Amino acid sequence: MKKVTINDIAKAANVAKSTVSKVMNDAPTVSPDTKRRVRAIMKQMNYTPSSIATQLARQSSSTIGVLVDLSRKADFLNHFFYTIIGGIENVAGPLHYEVTISNIQSTGPDNFMNRLVRGRKVDGLIMEKSILTREQTEELKLLEFPFVSIGQIPGAEGISSVDIDNTLGSGMLTEHLLEQGCRRLVFLGGEPADSIFESRSRGFRRSLKARGLEGEVFCGEGTVAEGCRMMKNLLQSGPVPDGIVTISNYVAFGVLQALQEAGLRIPADVCVATFDDYPLAPYTSPPLTCLHLDTFELGIQAASMLMERIDGTVTGVETRLLLPTLITRQSSLRQPAK
């Protein structure tokens, strides 16, 4: 596979290589005639320009980087990664940008800041909210390097981000349960350190307060086992709640188990509604009422925000919040909708 370069084309077409270059970029200062001729030769010789040489000449990598922490296995990203990447590629591709995945290893001088940012391997960066340190975000801002966070970074101002509107989302779940006649609501969450727990539980409390009600919030590991344990505790101590909002499908699954073991009827005795809509959620017994999060759109928005910043169209800080969708199923439907 010997590579044919712009020079070969120039020779074969009997023109200067600058003319060939102009043809490739469809410059208006080239006669239609030579354009045709050069193009024919390019096709005939099976020529494709070297993207690397173009990048060097243009001083742009035409690549956006997606930074992940591959050492974290049970990540939010784990389940949504493919879809998010799909969304990103969906806007980057048509703009002739490549998407590269980079593991963020802080080890040595080979870290992403040097490799990708200073080494100009990428023109911009997208990452999950919690993988950058404070210093790293500051450095990126200082370098005026374009980047967009997926998920809002709590406490960090001046960073553009896209996120699901978690607070609104738990409001939707909560109000749905209230509409179904629930009055003693409980929110079962995950890791308290995770900012998602904060925003979701906040929406829960706020919705209740708007109706003059109150509800308790619990947190744990966010696993099936933990959801089950938390629910069992609730059943033993104090009055049994009649509506449960959970932070994830895992916790919801544990809750369903605990309730069934206790012989409670769902949704007659207790309604359950949860964040996330995993593929199996329609098939639990009973099927789970879920809040669907459009992660493909999350990727699209993140990438389009980034592209705006890369080409300089937009400079300011911006946060876009996406609306979740409530999907009602049996676990919360007391009077089946018609």
State the residues that interact with DNA by CB under 7 A.
Answer: 3, 5-7, 14-19, 21-22, 24-25, 28-34, 47-50, 53-54, 56-59
d(CA 163, CA 295): 9
Q: In the set 25, 27, 45, 93, which binds a second copy (CB under 8 A)?
A: 93
Q: CB 8 → a second copy: shortest distance, Å?
A: 14
Which amino acid is present at 174? T
Q: Is residue 85 within 8 Å of residue 299, measured between CB atoms? A: yes
Q: Is residue 186 within 8 Å of residue 251, measured between CB atoms? A: no
Q: CB 239 → a second copy: shortest distance, Å?
A: 27
Q: In terms of Cα–Cα distance, which of 75, 59, 17 is closest to 42?
A: 17
Question: Residue 21: which of a second copy, DNA, none does it interact with, CB under 5 to 8 A by kind?
Answer: DNA
Q: In terms of Cα–Cα distance, which of 100, 104, 99 is closest to 70?
A: 104
The C-alpha R_g of the chain, in whole angstroms, comes to 26
Task: Identify which of residues 28 and 239 has a Cβ nearer to DNA in the complex.
Answer: 28
d(CA 282, CA 218): 25
Q: In the set 34, 55, 137, 195, which binds a second copy (CB under 8 A)?
A: 55
Q: In terms of Cα–Cα distance, which of 301, 330, 269, 247 is closest to 258?
A: 269
Q: In the set 7, 51, 106, 319, which binds a second copy (CB under 8 A)?
A: 51
Burial of 108 (0-12, 13-18, 19+ CB in 10 A): exposed
Q: CB 280 → a second copy: shortest distance, Å?
A: 6
Q: Contact letters (x/-) for a second copy, 128-167, by CB under 8 A?
A: ---------------xxx----------------------
Binding site for a second copy (CB under 8 A): 1, 3, 46, 48-53, 55-56, 61, 63, 68, 70, 73, 75, 77-79, 81-83, 85-86, 89-90, 93, 96, 98-103, 105, 110, 114-115, 118-121, 143-145, 224, 249-250, 253-254, 257, 278-280, 282-283, 285
